[in-house]
Amino acid sequence: MQEVLWHGRGGQGVVLAAQILGEAAYIQGFKGITSAPTFGPERRGAPVAASTRISDEPIRTFSQIEAADVAVVLDATLLTMIDILGRLKERGMIIVNTPLAPDQIGIEGCFDVASVDASGIAREQRLTVGGFPIVNTPLLGAFAKATGLVSITNIERGLKKKMPADRAIANCAAIRTAFENTIVKRHDSKTGTSDKK
């Protein structure tokens, strides 16, 4: 089973991203999928989280995720506000919305790190609300590239089931652009060094 935690702020589409990933995993053929929000202050800009579990077998666990295999961070400022790494398994993957390269983010430890400028991609595709970029769909493209768990084609199919056709076009373009521009740095647990792709 792969457990994914989504960290963002109210209005960024954290819960929808978790649902789209679940839908994409179902289309891909996974038998066990759950998606759930974690409620805190319900206001725009407040830190929020959601989770997705994906398994080849039916899932019988419905508790909150204690330690995730993958953490997706929609707002890099949350790295200094919330103990995101403390809820990520050793040798897990963290995907961050930032224009910085993975080795410039300052994440230490035995983690794979991926980065993509999801905010810039969202602005290019005019995915904004009130002037703020909506970065959830670009980060789904980054997820597909960094993890290989669900294909980009099935991410797009999952998105189209959750969104009207007129909105899906720009969002699918954002997914593909993010997929192409995601930089992944893998941690080699044997040598303690990193490998960029």
For position 194, what pLDDT does the model report?
45
Helices (H), ranges, the chain: 14-28, 118-124, 136-147, 152-162, 165-181
In a domain, 196, yes or no: no
- Of 122, 142, 141, 124, residue with least CA distance to 133: 122
Q: Grade residue 11 by pLDDT with cuts at 50, 70 and 90.
A: confident
Query: What are the tokens at 92?
Result: 């897990």
Max Cα-Cα span within the chain: 48
Residues whose CB is less than 8 angstroms from the CB of residue 77 and which lie 6 or more positions away in sequence, other chains included: none
Q: Is the whole model's pTM more than 0.85, yes or no?
A: yes
In a domain, 102, yes or no: yes
In a domain, 14, yes or no: yes
For position 59, what pLDDT does the model report?
83
Q: Grade residue 191 by pLDDT with cuts at 50, 70 and 90.
A: very low
In a domain, 164, yes or no: yes
pLDDT value at 64 more than 90: no
If you average pLDDT over every residue of the chain, what do you get? 88
- Structurally, the chain folds into a number of domains equal to 1
In a domain, 127, yes or no: yes
pLDDT value at 48 more than 90: no
CATH code, domain carrying 61? 3.40.920.10
In a domain, 114, yes or no: yes
For position 132, what pLDDT does the model report?
86
Count other Cβ atoms within 10 Å, centred on residue 49.
Answer: 23
Q: Which domain holds residue 132?
A: 2-189
- Of 116, 150, 183, residue with least CA distance to 18: 150
For position 190, what pLDDT does the model report?
43
Give me the DSSP letters along 103-129: GGS---SS-EEEEE-HHHHHHHTT-EE
CA–CA separation, 79 vs 181, rounded Å? 21
Report pLDDT digits (tens) over 136-186. Answer: 999 999 999 999 999 999 999 999 999 888 889 999 999 999 999 999 998
Q: What's the rounded mean pLDDT across residues 75-87?
A: 91
Q: Grade residue 193 by pLDDT with cuts at 50, 70 and 90.
A: very low
Residue whose token pair is 């009207």: 164
pLDDT value at 12 more than 50: yes
For position 192, what pLDDT does the model report?
44
pLDDT value at 42 more than 50: yes
For position 183, what pLDDT does the model report?
94
For position 35, what pLDDT does the model report?
85
pLDDT value at 41 more than 80: no
